[in-house]
């Protein structure tokens, strides 16, 4: 006697609570990704607002040092920068920009180490760059090699 056994196929049902949890996790991930994209857009906008005008403010050659208040070679450069600023006022602009107070500027100006000094012409175009401690005489020699010769301000 042949038994007619019917094969019964049972479909495994996914519990609805697992579906709901999966949807919630998916939505949370979408919200997180959307917020990250918004934050990235805000950061890009902030970085683009750090323009050359911030660094190059006048129609004079600029000597700009990118560094930080805690960096030892930057501290050693401080008196040199102060002297240059005082002695060549009106002939060149001398600036110090703290990279930690101006996030995004390191990427904009491709700063890989501090201190980094950048020489800009009157139009704001980078014409030379140096990394590390830079003695005053060498800075003036670099300017001279770039075609600039400055006269020291007479002390009053």
52 catalytic? Reply is: no
Q: Mean pLDDT throughout 83-94?
A: 94
Cα distances (angstroms) measured from residue 83 to each of 8, 65, 80, 124: 93, 14, 5, 22
Q: Mean pLDDT throughout 55-77?
A: 91
Is residue 116 predicted with pLDDT exceeding 90? yes
Q: Is the peptide bond before 115 cis (omega within 30 degrees of 0)?
A: yes
Structure confidence at residue 26 (pLDDT): 86
Choose the catalytic residue: 50, 71, 127, 128. Answer: 71
Token pair for 35: 């917020």
Distance CA 64, CA 47 (A): 18
Is residue 8 predicted with pLDDT exceeding 90? no
Structure confidence at residue 20 (pLDDT): 84
156: pLDDT confidence band, cut at 50, 70 and 90? low
Distance CA 119, CA 1 (A): 102
Distance CA 39, CA 86 (A): 41
Structure confidence at residue 45 (pLDDT): 44
CATH for the stretch 52-145? 3.40.30.10
How is the beta sheet containing 126-131 ordered, strand by strand?
Answer: 93-98, 62-67, 116-120, 126-131
Mean pLDDT estimate for the chain: 83
Distance CA 61, CA 140 (A): 12
* Predicted TM-score of the model (pTM): 0.64
Choose the catalytic residue: 74, 77, 80, 140. Answer: 74
71 catalytic? Reply is: yes
Structure confidence at residue 50 (pLDDT): 41
Q: Which of 61, 57, 68, 58 is nearest to 106 (CA)?
A: 68
Domain boundaries, the chain: 15-49, 52-145
């Amino acid at each position: 006697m042949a038994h007619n056994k019917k094969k019964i196929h049972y479909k495994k049902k996914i519990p609805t609570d697992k579906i709901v949890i999966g949807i919630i996790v998916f939505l949370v991930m979408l919200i997180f990704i959307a917020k990250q994209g918004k934050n990235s857009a805000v950061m890009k906008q902030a970085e683009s607002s750090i323009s050359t005008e911030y660094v190059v403010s006048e129609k004079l050659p600029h000597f700009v040092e990118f560094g930080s208040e805690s960096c030892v070679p930057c501290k050693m450069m401080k008196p040199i920068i102060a002297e240059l600023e005082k002695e060549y006022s009106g002939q060149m602009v001398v600036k110090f920009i703290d990279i930690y107070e101006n996030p995004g500027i390191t990427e904009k100006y491709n700063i890989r180490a501090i201190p980094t000094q950048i020489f800009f012409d009157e139009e704001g175009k980078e014409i030379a760059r140096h990394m590390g401690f830079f003695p005053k005489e060498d800075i003036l020699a670099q300017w001279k090699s770039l075609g600039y010769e400055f006269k020291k301000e007479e002390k009053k």
